[in-house]
Structure 1
């Protein structure tokens, strides 16, 4: 439960139809296995104590009494471990029979949740045997020799892990227009469990998967779905045991169909709570749900779920390509709209031959093509100075030529030297003044050229640089429209690579060389003609900083949790000391450099993280980092 993680399981036991004692043994065995594997919650299928396909045997007292005795066995066995169990069982009450989910924990029957929507169409005829639990207000009942609560809208709340609140709906309840989980989630449930018996037909598996995924996203919840499988009667139907564990639209675990067994994953409940707090339209309301409290032993959950090293970049190649196309189109649309509004037909870009300015040029080319404007209106300006290498300069020249832009070369060495003389700064003193004077001179050139041509200066800085403050205030920090402002460095690389995959010849070769060039501001003189100032050696690997940025800004994780999942994601790549070092650097710079983000130029939001002071990130420039830094430094 540390850091908000909870290990859970969904199980499909092999059952025998109308053999509760046998089925109870399988359920008990699986619960014990889940306990050994560190799970805190396990969900079993609908009516798994009897099997779902008993038909008219559900009208037999013999079967119903056998089911009650079997649940009593399960209750007794559960006292030897601390796993919360959700088990499907028929329950008789006031002359009616209900299809229920029993919540079992440490020898206690905490509650019985009835199925609300009883299907009676196509292959389903449950209404022949079962009554809907709709409008049954929670009431104390006796079952298995225990006093428990029976009724709809029950919430099972963990008193020592407040993020864990469990609600339940059963099979068909998910498929209707207004599922019970809507009420449960708005009442505070972060985990919805669904004991199910969903038969298999062609195409249904993918539909089921999409339904569970989208429903967990809509409710900002975790969803555990346990499906009936082997052993159910195949007289007319087939059950595949298609189990899922989902979280906010993401399938964390999925079983192989037509198998029995257990799937596991860790839920991140603190992440869900952050999302609900962030989205103030999420309907947290006091309603008529009844809370039943329980307690779980504290444990440090070992992580097995995967965390992408590049959370801004899709893992699937086809998805990555379509995402890259969409992103470049969005960037270009933002710029094209701004150009139309200002009646501007000229763009000015400082083209260094590096990744960021290359992407800015690509986006500008797309925008001009959208508007049907001659690419000669794109003025690519290369401004060599003390740190410029032959490699980057030649790449800039070739890019401008290949894209049909108008090229300008403005050597700023004389201007910068004159500036040093004016302010009394020695050329030999390679301090921050030495570096920033070059960046500000370049911005001056670009702004004045834009004024001269009636054009617009296109900003090249990316999201990662803004997070770290790796930009010169009123230098490359400033532009008239920043097309890369919400694109992190790891994504810049993929977008450029995507463009390279679509072109041929000299342009493809040049883009590939840009991708192979070390990231550098090139503000210090080169050594032996090679780049001497490599950004990632100074501020750390961008893949780490983008990872930190995503989890700190997008999900609000604390340093301890970010460090933990970074260790897991980058296992074998970076050691603990390296991760800690750059996490401390990220936090320190993120707070110190907010003043630069507080006056950013306009630029389009593209992804889920942006640092625009007019949009997603409103942080005072004088905020103190002590709380975050002290936790990171003491890891």
Structure 2
């Protein structure tokens, strides 16, 4: 046990283009790593600029400022005597690369460009960068003069190489490379690399962490090694929330794990590992045979610093970190924590004074409000723990330098405003639920009736056209019925922005409020919302979460947060309350849509995740839903889904920016790129009808044989 070393990886809450703030958080993580005795510190992908710069990566200024901040880090006295693996964009021979810059004591050892770029789903890395498509190939990179003045170097190695220390060997791979079939850590391990770093900008999705951890464990489970995983944490200015969870793994065993959701700007994870454990693990003959068959070795760059301390460290109280039980949050906890942290980052960095939410008394706006309550709980916990950054942010948002809230309700009363916008179609039950729930979480609540506004718009139309539209229950057409519903929905959006701007003024506070949306992913997918209604907002924390998951979250929050009124939201029938209630008719969301929310989730996954068109979706649903539904009913539902998806597709081009949480999100912004003007599905319909005829024919023949 003579080769013990302390290694550090971290999760940083970086912000795209916040160059100085990002540099300070990097330096702080290095301070913490050194204080723990670490000899190697690994940071997230593109940590100097922030991962989410997007098209700003096409601008030369971004690369200039990245080097300026790197120079600040490189020359900082607290950043010496530790090997640093830092992420930043670099241009080489007029080509843009996503790179790791590995340095030690004011010297750059290696610039390692990313070889496999993330280019699907939320990611468009090949729009900004070029992959380094030459394994184990290197060339010289000429350093900017500002770096040469610090390091004394004019050129350094650039390419696919590794770093050799006196006692070990370090290799770097970046994010997406872990997810590829032939990951770089495999040939690195066979070539004697004992420590592999992975720097990521990996976003949160519900139930995703298990997949990520299994890949990381398997990276060393087959052939041994030490794996340091670093990730960004927080909202860096877009729809994604990066969920941290930095880890250290030794021979397939997790020995250190950071938090997945946190309000901390800097979180450093360390572990003591024994290099000899890797060497013992790799004594298998089959591994040796594969290692000697490698025809081209990695070029090794020499680093003067050893990972382990000189001499043997034998002490009864000091040894390698032991394997730990990996912690996974339940989906309900993920909904409570992920969007809450995302909201806090957005609020504290936007310069606004809080949130405004149209609280309808239904489960969707209730879920949004509950997430805000969860955010307030996290902030209070951080304040109680003395987190100076969070306390400073609270005082900045409230513009009160002495304000330190002690309960979630006290904080909510300052920053969270809700409003029930009733009409003659609203029930007393939804109104009272909204009021009681707002009181339970401490929100500043407003209750109003907007019938006079609806009537004014309706009468204006009648005055201009001499035609008076009526609801369908009063003898009107479907066209009239839909128009009258949309008047109410769109007026709520106008009122929401009016109150968001003026409510703080009414209360004697400064600033304005961010308007929160509350359309769930299934309604967005189906288009079951009015374009530019109260779902049109500044941001939407539940726009990527299914109705099914939201119900489970509300049940969790009812018990975990001790809010009994949430039970009434769970048992209420989902309804828009935009049509008159009669003895014979009460509007129901699922009846309006012609499908259940659970069915919508299935449609969404088959459409996006399994990439099904109408015909292949129908054939898959035959196996999933038969005999609960007949083939004819399945065909009708499939056609209806695609019909309504197609005619409402234009709504998805204007969806409120939403927290990304679900793989079948229909978000038109980069994630779900599809046309918004569709032809009739004539040929797929014919294919489905033909399949139905064959099914019915086979069924008839079977029945005939039985007779």
TM-score (norm 2): 0.43
TM-score (norm 1): 0.48
